[in-house]
Structure 1
Amino acid sequence: MLLSTPALSEEPPEEAREADVAERVAELDEPLYNPFIERYLLDEVRSLRTDLLNTRAELIEKVVNKELSVADKSMSYATDTVTYFFYLIAAATSILVLIGWNSIRDMRQQLTNLAEDRVNELVVVYEQRLKDIEEQLKQKSDIIHQNQADIERTNEVHSLWLKASQEPSQQNKITVYDQILELRPDDVEALSYKADAVLELQEPLWAISLCLRALKLAPDNGHALYQLACAYAEIGRWEDAVNNLAMAIDISEAYRDDASTDQSFAQLHEHDRFCSLVYTEETQTAVV
C-alpha cells in the first residue's frame, strides 16, 4: 500500500482533465448556474466597470486640477514679477525726481553753457581765419594792382626815354625828363641826363643842383659825378671838377675818353692833375 500511494497521488494529465470536464458537462441534467447567480455576476461586472470609470474620472480631474494650479501659480508669479519691476522703476524715478532733479537741471545747464562756449570759440577762430584770409587776399590784390601800375609806369617811362633819345632839342629833352621824373621822382638817370641837357643850355648852376640831388639818392652814380664835374668846370671850380671827374673815372674808364673831348673841360687841358688823370703816357706822347 505504501508503494501504491505515490501513484494514486499523481495528478492526471491536462487532456484527461478536459475530457473529464466535457464528460461531466454532457452528463448534467440541469444548468450549472441558476439565474440568480448569473444576475449576481453581471452586477459585479457592472460594478467593476463603474468603479473603473469613476477612478479614471477622478484621475483626470486631479491631473487637470494640478495643471490648472501650476498655470495659476506661474501666472501669479509672472504678474508679481512685473508688478514688482514697475514698482522698482516707479520708486527709482520718484527718488530721482525728489533728489536729483536739481542735479540734472544743473548738468543740462552746464552742458548747454559748455556747448555755447565751444561754439563761440570756434566762431571766433573761424572769424579770425576768415579775416586773415581777407587780409591776405587784399594784400595780394594790392600787390597785383601795384605791379600792374608799375608795369604801366615802366612802359610809359620806356616810351619817354625813347622819345627823349629822338628829340633834337635840349629843351624838349628837358620836358621829357620832367615827365619821367613825375612818374619816378627818384630816377637818378633822369636827373643826371637832365643835368646834361641843362649844361647844353649853359645853365651850370641848375645842373649842379640836379647832380647833387642825384648823388644824394645814389652816391656811386658815375654819370651824375661826371655831369657834376662838367658843371663845376663851367663855373671855374677846377679842383671840384677834377675831384668829381676822378671819382667818375674810378667807377668807369669810359669817362676818361669822354673827358678828353668834352668842351666843358677845355679850360682844364693845361691843368696838371687833369692831364695826369685824363691822358695816359701814350696819349701825352702822341699829343707832344
Structure 2
Amino acid sequence: MNIVLKSFLLLSFLIFYTSVNADTPQIKGLDKELKKPLIERYIMDELKDLRMETMRVRNDVDKRISKAEVEQTDRAARYITDTIGNIFYLIAAATSILLFAGWNSLRDIRGKTEEIVENRLDAITQKYNSQLQTLQDTLTLQSKKILENQNKIYNTQYLHSLWMRSNLETNPQSKIDLYDEIIKVNTNDAEVYAYKADAVLDLDEYEWALNLSNKAIEIDPDYGYAYWQRSCANAVLGNKNEAIEDLALAIEKSPQLRDEIEGEVLFENIKESEEFKNLKN
C-alpha cells in the first residue's frame, strides 16, 4: 500500500512541476540550473524509498512462504509418524490375536494353514465325488432304461414275428415250437398258453392241454379263450360237468365264442346235455 501511495505522489509531483514550469516565465538558463539538482535529489530519494519498500515486501513474502513450508513439512511428518504408529498398533493387535488363538509361532501358523487347506480340499473333493457319483448313478439308470426300452422294442418285434409265423403254420408241432419261443420271451402271457393248448389238443394230448389251460387261467382269470380250451379238454376226458361249467364261463367272459360252439368237434360228448343246448342257444 505504501509503495503504491508513494508512486502516486511522485507521479503527481512530476505532473504538477511540469504544468507550473510551462505556465511561469523563466529566466533563460537560470531556472533550469537552479531546479535541476533539487528535482534529481527528490527523485533519487523516492526511488530509494521505493526500492527499500519493495525489498521489505519481498522479505515478508519469503518469510510467509518459508513458514508455510515449515508448517506443511511439520504436518507431513506428524502424519507419517501417526501412520507408522498406527501400523505398529495393528501389528501388535494382530500379534495379540494370533497369540490369543494359540498361534505362537510361524510353525503353528503354517500347520494350521495347511490343516485348513487340507480340510477345504477334502470337503471340495468329497462334494465333487458325491456329485460325480450321483451323475454316474443317473447315467447308469438312464442307460439301463434305454437298454430295457430297446429290449422291449426288440422283444415286441420278435414276438410279433413269432405270432405271424404261428398263424401261418399248419403243423401242430411247429406251432407248439413257436409258442415255446414266445413263452421264453414272455412267460406271463395267458394267450400263448391257451393257443398252445389248442395246438396240443390237435395232437390228442388232452391232459397236457388241460394243464396249459389251467396255467392260462392262473395268469389271467378273465381270459375267456382259456376256459374254452379247458372245456374242450374236459369234454374229451369225460369231465362233462367241468366242461359245461368252463364253457359257460368262456361264453360269459367272451360272448363271441357262442358262435363257435356248433363247429367245435371236441364237444361231441356233451352236445346232448340240456345245459349244453341252453348255452348254445
2:75 match: 81
Q: CA deviation at 1:260?
A: 2.6
1:228 match: 230
1:215 match: 217
Whole-angstrom CA distance in 2 between matches of 1:55 and 1:140? 109
2:164 to 158, 162, 167: 162
Residues 119 and 82 from structure 1, CA distance in 2 versus in 1: closer, same or farther, beyond 3 angstroms?
farther
Residues 128-143 of structure 1: pairs in structure 2 closer than 5 A: 131-143=133-145
- Asked if 1:63 is matched to 2:63, the reply is no
2:177 match: 175
Q: CA deviation at 1:267?
A: 1.0
Q: CA deviation at 1:261?
A: 2.6
Residues 59 and 123 from structure 1, CA distance in 2 versus in 1: closer, same or farther, beyond 3 angstroms?
farther
Asked if 1 retains the 8 angstrom alpha-carbon contact of 2:231 and 2:243, the reply is yes
2:91 match: 97
1:196 match: 198
**Greater RCO structure (CA 8 Å; 6+ sep):** 2
Q: Once superposed, what is the RMSD of the aligned Cα atoms?
A: 3.7
Asked if 1 retains the 8 angstrom alpha-carbon contact of 2:166 and 2:178, the reply is yes
2:22 match: none
Whole-angstrom CA distance in 2 between matches of 1:53 and 1:187? 136
Opposite residue 161 of structure 1, the aligned amino acid is W
- Asked if 1:151 is matched to 2:144, the reply is no
Q: CA deviation at 1:152?
A: 1.6
Q: CA deviation at 1:123?
A: 7.7
Task: Give structure 2 stretches of 5+ with no counterpart.
Answer: 1-24, 102-108
Q: CA deviation at 1:230?
A: 0.8
- The one-character-per-residue Cα deviations of 1:84-135 (angstroms, maximum 9, x if unpaired) are 11111111111111124454897x999x969x869957983x7655554544
TM-score (norm 1): 0.71
Asked if 1 retains the 8 angstrom alpha-carbon contact of 2:225 and 2:254, the reply is no
Task: Give structure 1 stretches of 5+ with no counterpart.
Answer: 1-20, 26-31, 33-37, 281-288
Residues 120 and 43 from structure 1, CA distance in 2 versus in 1: closer, same or farther, beyond 3 angstroms?
same
